[in-house]
Amino acid sequence: MADPVLEVRGVSKRFGALVANEGITLDLRPGEIHAVIGPNGAGKSTLIAQICGTLRPDSGEVRLEGHEITGLSVAQRARKGLARTFQISALAMEDTVLENAVLGALGASVSPWRFWRAALSRPALVDRAEAALARVGLMQARHRRVADLSHGERRQLEVAVALTLGPRAFVMDEPMAGLGSEGSADLTRLLDALRAEAPILLVEHDMDAVFALADRISVLVYGRVLMTGTVAEVRASTEVRAAYLGDAA
Amino acid sequence: MISERWLSLGVLVALGGVALAAMALDTPYTITLATRAAILALAAAGLNIALGLGGLVSFGHALFFGLGGYAMGILAFHAQTYTPLDLGLFQITGTKSMPVIWLAAVTLSALVAIPVGILALRTTGVYFIMITLAFAQMFYYFTLSWSAYGGEDGLSIYVRNGFPGLNTFDPIQFFGLCFTLLCAVLWLSARLKRSPFGLALGAARQSPARAKAVGLSPMRLRLVAFVLSGAIAGLAGALYADLNRFVSPAMFGWHLSGELIVLVILGGVARIIGPVVGAGVFVMLEHFLGQITDFWQIWLGLILLFVVLFARGGIVGLLSPKGGRHG
């Protein structure tokens, strides 16, 4: 089996008496979509925060392409190729779609310490940004301000900005959040194609999307991994039904 | 509605035109007012890089304005008294040369802005406002008791400093110098705003989480913006001191920090020409209303209230609503 791109090994995090994550171990292999599901409060957000660097684990480690990244900052992880999307869109709202995508290209390719020639007249940046926008279907909207975009378009732009980083792995925090069924279906098709570029760790509440996309699913309950398995295995598990799907259905 | 480019050009032509008309009509005091507006605009243009582009509400930019002023005052003082300036390790002679003084003012302001920025940028919001204010006040009280350079009485420089090839005693020539520097800084700001640095700084202001997620460090971007901003305010301080041929602790005062913020907000936050419009309106109100009443700032306050409540983009935002992004 190919070496995993992203590994989480025995990661624990507590806030006072609350154990948010306890000994979480999972990995992300090349070409796969690995979904993380679990009821509210299961510790999914805490896990994402530790993978992306906004929180440091109390114990355990995170590795990207075999290198430990547990001690690195958010920005350092991004430069190493860890691209995330946010549950609540975090975009430069006053800027245009293209400028937001160029920002990603900027972080990935040249340094931001260029003070003279306009960012939008640098072909290296713009080409990269436009390629990502074309990929998510936002080329028509590239000169619109993000504030004027629909919710669905912002979700697409989140993915496009992550793409401009030329990432080694994606971490997506509920990319389907707030999308209608049509929007979810479009984004599902997009993510399905993206896994060929870099594997995706997908935290998602939309079970249709998860079952359609995931190669493997890890189920988080009370801060622990209850089980990791294929879609069929997770669906068949009585434990998971009891802990999670039963409540939802 | 006017495109931002034409508006900017119009405002600069108007400012230059006022000075030239005053020269033709032989009213040097009006040239002095135009020069004062240009220098305040320069300082506010500096602040606009931190406040407008970076979202850093510095309530202490008088610190850099004052440092520029005292850099000029001290160098010119030693030149006019023919005493060397003792820097501990070595001595330098004073100078009456503007280019040298400007270089000293910019360098000193930038060097002070680095540690001040590193400390102040650890905080945000109201704490950032307070810590920048505190640094400026520290220098205010220090110069107040610095008897070697006049203490609270300030320091008079008898003769305006010189610039190679120009007669700086001639009001219109000194105006020309200040105006040229203002145009240069505005042009630099416009480039900066669209550059990769400007884009990254703007993203760090609007969404720090996004900036980090694409591998950028908001802290470093803000620090560079703060230092650039302080250096420009320092240059303006040196010019202001030369305009008045006088420096005093008031240049470090919080009044001045507040005025600079008012100029930026009045003109239009993050709008390149905003500081010039703000400074122009400010100086006009001060002059015309000041003749009528000592309480002219009440009217300034009302105008500011109107801008903050109904015209967030400032005067430039009213005249040229959308051009802020692309021109």
Phi, psi of A130, deg, nearest 5:
-70, -35
pLDDT of residue B293: 87
By DSSP bridging, strand B91-92 and strand A18-28 are unpaired
| Predicted model pTM | 0.94
Q: Do A118 and B194 touch (CB under 8 A)?
A: yes
B199 contact residues in A (CB cutoff 8 A): 95, 99, 102-103, 106, 112, 119
What's the gap in Å between the CA of A73 and the closest CA on chain B? Answer: 9
pLDDT of residue B322: 65
- B323 has a pLDDT exceeding 60: no
Query: Could you tell me which of A1, A7, A3 has the C-alpha nearest to residue A68?
Result: A7
CB within 8 Å of chain A, chain B residues 123-162: none
Residues in a beta bridge with A6: A28, A64
- Per-residue CA distances from B108 to A141, B114, B227 (Å): 46, 10, 11
Q: How high is the mean pLDDT of chain B? A: 94
pLDDT of residue A245: 58
Number of structural domains (chain B) is 1
A161 contact residues in B (CB cutoff 8 A): 210, 214
What's the gap in Å between the CA of B176 and the closest CA on chain A? Answer: 26
Q: Do B216 and A102 touch (CB under 8 A)?
A: no
Q: Give burial (CB, 10 Å; 0-12/13-18/19+) of B290.
A: middle
Report the residue from B194, B207, B214 with minimal CB separation from A107: B214
pLDDT tens string B2-39: 888 999 999 999 999 999 999 999 999 999 999 999 99
Q: Do B202 and A94 touch (CB under 8 A)?
A: yes
Q: Is residue B29 part of a domain?
A: yes
Q: Do B210 and A92 touch (CB under 8 A)?
A: yes
Q: In terms of residue numbers, what domain contains A101?
A: 93-165
Q: Is residue A28 part of a domain?
A: no
CB A169 within 8 A of CB A198: yes
Q: What is the mean pLDDT of residues B109-116?
A: 98
Q: What is the mean pLDDT of residues B263-277?
A: 96
The H or E element that residue B5 is part of is helix B4-24
Q: Do B211 and A103 touch (CB under 8 A)?
A: yes
Q: Is residue A194 part of a domain?
A: no
Q: Do B195 and A86 touch (CB under 8 A)?
A: no
Q: Is A114 on the interface with B (CB under 8 A)?
A: yes
Query: Could you tell me which of A205, A214, A206, A247 has the C-alpha nearest to residue A233?
Result: A214
CA distance A104 to B210: 9
In the block, residue with structure tokens 């984004």: A187
**Those residues with Cβ within 8 angstroms of residue B277's Cβ, 6 or more apart along the chain or in another chain:** B11, B266, B267, B268, B314, B315, B316
CA distance A50 to A156: 24
Q: In terms of residue numbers, what domain contains B310?
A: 4-319
**Percent of chain B predicted with pLDDT > 90:** 87
- Per-residue CA distances from B27 to B18, B32, B40, B159, B178 (Å): 11, 9, 21, 21, 18
pLDDT of residue A246: 57
- Side-by-side strand order, sheet with A33-37: A82-85, A169-173, A200-203, A33-37, A216-221, A224-229
Q: Is residue B170 part of a domain?
A: yes
Query: By three-state DSSP, how is residue B150 classified?
Result: coil
A100 contact residues in B (CB cutoff 8 A): 203
pLDDT tens string B78-106: 999 999 888 888 888 899 999 999 999 99
The H or E element that residue B155 is part of is strand B155-156
pLDDT of residue B139: 97
CA distance B182 to B2: 22
Q: Is B93 on the interface with A (CB under 8 A)?
A: no
Q: Which two tokens stand for residue A135?
A: 């990929």
Q: Which two tokens stand for residue A151?
A: 């919710």
What's the gap in Å between the CA of A203 and the closest CA on chain B? Answer: 17
Number of structural domains (chain A) is 1
Weakest-pLDDT range from A7-21, A232-246, B114-128, B188-202: A232-246
Distance of CA B141 to the CA centre of its chain: 21
Query: Could you tell me which of B232, B203, B207 has the C-alpha nearest to residue B58?
Result: B232
Q: What is the DSSP letter of B27?
A: -
Q: Is A73 on the interface with B (CB under 8 A)?
A: yes
Residue/partner pairs of B174-181 with CB below 8 Å, 24 or more apart: B174/B35, B174/B242, B174/B243, B175/B19, B175/B31, B175/B34, B175/B35, B175/B38, B177/B98, B177/B239, B178/B35, B178/B38, B178/B39, B178/B42, B178/B239, B178/B243, B179/B15, B179/B16, B179/B19, B179/B38, B181/B42, B181/B235, B181/B239
Q: Is residue B326 part of a domain?
A: no
Question: Longest Cα pair distance anywhere in chain A, in angstroms?
Answer: 62
CB within 8 Å of chain B, chain A residues 30-59: 52
Q: What is the mean pLDDT of residues B296-315?
A: 90
ipTM: 0.92
CA distance B72 to B84: 15
Query: By three-state DSSP, how is residue B200 classified?
Result: helix
pLDDT of residue B324: 45
Given a cut of 50, the residues of chain A with pLDDT beneath it are 248-249
Q: Is residue B117 part of a domain?
A: yes
pLDDT tens string B137-164: 999 999 999 999 999 999 999 999 999 9
Please write down the HEC assignment for all residues of chain A. Answer: CCCCCEEEEEEEEEECCEEEEEEEEEEECCCCEEEEECCCCCCHHHHHHHHHCCCCCCEEEEEECCEECCCCCHHHHHHCCEEEECCCCCCCCCCEHHHHHHHHHHHHCCCCCCCCCCHHHCHHHHHHHHHHHHHHCCCCCCCCEHHHCCHHHHHHHHHHHHHHCCCCEEEEECCCCCCCHHHHHHHHHHHHHHCCCCCEEEECCCHHHHHHHCCEEEEEECCEEEEEECHHHHHHCHHHHHHHHHHHC
CA distance B73 to B149: 8
- B297 has a pLDDT exceeding 50: yes
Query: Could you tell me which of B257, B272, B262, B273 has the C-alpha nearest to residue B308?
Result: B262
Best residue in B187, B189, B206, B212 for a mutation probing chain A (most A CBs within 10 Å) = B212
What's the gap in Å between the CA of A92 and the closest CA on chain B? Answer: 5
Q: Which two tokens stand for residue A10?
A: 């025995």
Q: What is the mean pLDDT of residues B119-144?
A: 96
Q: Which two tokens stand for residue B321?
A: 């609503």
pLDDT of residue A1: 62
Q: Is residue B229 part of a domain?
A: yes
pLDDT of residue B86: 83
Report the residue from B203, B212, B217 with minimal CB separation from A92: B203
Q: Is residue A130 part of a domain?
A: yes
CB within 8 Å of chain A, chain B residues 201-230: 201-203, 206-207, 209-217, 221, 224
What's the gap in Å between the CA of B210 and the closest CA on chain A? Answer: 6
Q: Which two tokens stand for residue B133?
A: 């204010």
Q: Do B207 and A90 touch (CB under 8 A)?
A: yes
Q: Nearest-5° angle of CA B168, CA B172, CA B175? A: 80
Best residue in A64, A74, A145 for a mutation probing chain B (most B CBs within 10 Å) = A74
pLDDT tens string B24-77: 999 999 999 999 999 999 999 999 999 999 999 999 999 999 999 999 999 999
Q: Is residue B69 part of a domain?
A: yes
A78 contact residues in B (CB cutoff 8 A): 212-215
pLDDT of residue B327: 34
By DSSP bridging, strand A200-203 and strand A169-173 are parallel
What's the gap in Å between the CA of B224 and the closest CA on chain A? Answer: 9
CA distance B47 to B282: 16
- B313 has a pLDDT exceeding 60: yes
> What CATH number corresponds to the domain at position B80?
1.10.3470
Q: Do B213 and A99 touch (CB under 8 A)?
A: no
In the block, residue with structure tokens 């669905």: A152
**Percent of chain B predicted with pLDDT > 70:** 98
Q: Do A145 and B207 touch (CB under 8 A)?
A: no
**Those residues with Cβ within 8 angstroms of residue A31's Cβ, 6 or more apart along the chain or in another chain:** A195, A196, A199
Q: Is residue B103 part of a domain?
A: yes
Q: Is residue A35 part of a domain?
A: no
Report the residue from B209, B215, B221 with minimal CB separation from A79: B215
By DSSP bridging, strand A82-85 and strand A169-173 are parallel
In the block, residue with structure tokens 């590239």: A142
- B325 has a pLDDT exceeding 60: no
